[in-house]
Structure 1
Amino acid sequence: MTDSKEGRGDVRIYSCIDDLTTKLAEYISDLSDKSVKERGCFSIALSGRSTVNFIWKLTGAPYMITVDWTKWRVFFADERAVAKTHPESNYKLTKDEFLSKVPIPSSNVCSINDNLEIGAAAHEYQFTIRQHVKSHKVAASVATDCPRFDLILLELGPDGHVASLFPGHAALCVYHDWVTHIVDSPRPPPERITFTMPVINSACNVAIVAVEDDKADAVRFAVGPIDESVVACLSPARMVDPVDGRLVWFLDSGAASKLD
């Protein structure tokens, strides 16, 4: 059962994770169809290791046939500074659990160069995204001069972080770059590359997933009525507010348990 609430985005609450993953697959498939019809392609940015666990139903019926996978352009909203073969790599998990099971051309997957030091890798990744904007594979936001991804899919951390943007971190204040890097992540590994908040807020659609009781406080700070003067340091997720797009929350009953 779904309980949809308006306010800090469209908040959708599901009684179990199976229902959530079913509806998330439908949501992504619908956005893909719409984007392909309107622009001829679908640009999606994935974030974190757990988001892949929520989209696995796209690898089965009916989506293997109904989704035009050849039109997908896949990006990473954040990545750990490890080799692509490393168990901590977002790319490795995404490839093993999703990309290897759907017919997206490998040339349509834009991963981060793991042969460069982290600053250079972030710079190169930003350049790669710029090339996709120039070729119209990723739309451009007139309002923000940032890429306008069709969908950025994020997971909410128990501390309120999204992508690799953590509470109180200086990376939250990077406004002029599309991609930045950090060397002191409070969660291992310490070196990471991440989209900046302006890029997230320039997306056509942002979906944030949170499940289980340990996310309940983070969901409350991100969605509920909180003093805005202090919330930014408590919850980067609270800063997610698309300029000209839509924000949707996919929550299970545990994550939503502290909402009014």
Structure 2
Amino acid sequence: MADVSHRPEPLVEVQPDAAALATAVAGELLNRLADAQAEGRVPQVVLTGGTIATEVHRQVARLAAGADVDWTRVVLWWGDERFVAPDSEERNAVPAVADLLGPLGATQVHQVPSTQDVSDVAAAATGYAESLAAHGPDRFDVVMLGIGPDAHVASLFPGHDALATTGQATVAVTDSPKPPPERVSLTFDTLNRTRSVWVVASGEGKAEAVAAGLAPEGTVTATPARGVRGEDETIWFLDTAAASLT
């Protein structure tokens, strides 16, 4: 696991509820994309899945008309994906494409291979790594992550072998404690190759994980969220309930 302790300490932004949180994150994402394009760069962003991510995506789509963002010049990835059928609602990409990327006309969208594309999860991880090598950046603009009640991020779970994977961009997970069991995840090496990390959490069910992730002491093995920090900044976007134990 990479040592990120030398990187800037996380910042914390708290919104009153999930709706305000989703709107704030969406607005900030649109600003970052517009700024990058104004500088002549093609921004590359890692998206996440989950309930609050879905609300963020919907708010981005709602607010996009007022933002100066060319979605054909935004490159999009996922931090992890479930190895299931391409149309399964368990795939992080399915609601994101429906709610955000399809309506906004995004064209540079890199999905993890599904069960229809390759024979097994190891091949899916290899294929995704090849896409990253061919089309990924030296560093991302934003890596957006959810956090589980156990403080996992992407599909890097407490105590799992995948936490120690180094020297490769992706890892195949075959025994996820959260169904479905087979997943592809970016490794810490890849997640940390970014200007900015955003951890987005909503609800009391995430409060203990958030507190552990932000605590002065702790290990990445027990709290994987501690293992990801941006080169320039890390921001934890929380609502009041998720922040209640910090």
TM > 0.5 between the two? yes
Q: Does 1:163 align with 2:163?
A: no
Deviation of 1:155 after TM superposition, in Å, equals 0.4
RMSD: 1.6
Residue 223 of structure 2 aligns with an amino acid whose one-letter code is S
Say if 1:212 and 1:255, in contact at 8 Å, map to a contact too. Answer: yes
Give 2:21's aligned residue: 20
Q: Does 1:99 align with 2:86?
A: no
Deviation of 1:157 after TM superposition, in Å, equals 0.7
Gapped regions of structure 1 (runs ≥ 5):
1-6, 141-147
| Greater shift in the superposed pair: 196-205 or 181-190 | 196-205
Deviation of 1:39 after TM superposition, in Å, equals 4.2
Give 1:200's aligned residue: 191
Give 2:57's aligned residue: 55
Output the CA distance in 2 between the equivalents of 1:79 and 1:52.
Answer: 15
Give 2:135's aligned residue: 132
Give 2:227's aligned residue: 239
Q: Deviations over 1:2-60 (max 9, x none)?
A: xxxxx841100111122211211121011101221334311111122332222311112
Larger RCO: 1 or 2 (CA < 8 Å, sep 6+) = 2
Please state whether the residue corresponding to 1:256 is helix, strand or coil.
coil
Output the CA distance in 2 between the equivalents of 1:65 and 1:216.
Answer: 32
Q: Would the alpha carbon gap of residues 181 and 253 (structure 1) be closer, same or farther in structure 2, given more than 3 Å must change?
A: same
Q: Deviations over 1:210-252 (max 9, x none)?
A: 11101111011001233x3xx222210011123x231111000
Output the CA distance in 2 between the equivalents of 1:29 and 1:183.
Answer: 35
Q: Deviations over 1:76-114 (max 9, x none)?
A: 110000011112111212112222221212xx1111221
Q: Deviations over 1:144-200 (max 9, x none)?
A: xxxx11111110111000000001111010110011111000000000000001111
Give 1:3's aligned residue: none
Give 2:200's aligned residue: 209
Q: Would the alpha carbon gap of residues 62 and 87 (structure 1) be closer, same or farther in structure 2, given more than 3 Å must change?
A: closer
State how 1:109-188 maps to structure 2 within 5 Å.
109-114=109-114, 115-116=117-118, 117-133=120-136, 138=137, 140=138, 148-188=139-179
Moved over 3 A (4+): 61-65
Output the CA distance in 1 between the equivalents of 2:104 and 2:49.
Answer: 19
Residue 9 of structure 1 aligns with an amino acid whose one-letter code is P
Give 1:144's aligned residue: none
Gapped regions of structure 2 (runs ≥ 5):
1-7
Give 1:249's aligned residue: 236
Q: Would the alpha carbon gap of residues 126 and 21 (structure 1) be closer, same or farther in structure 2, given more than 3 Å must change?
A: same
Output the CA distance in 2 between the equivalents of 1:55 and 1:251.
Answer: 16
TM-score using structure 2 length: 0.90
Aligned positions, number = 235
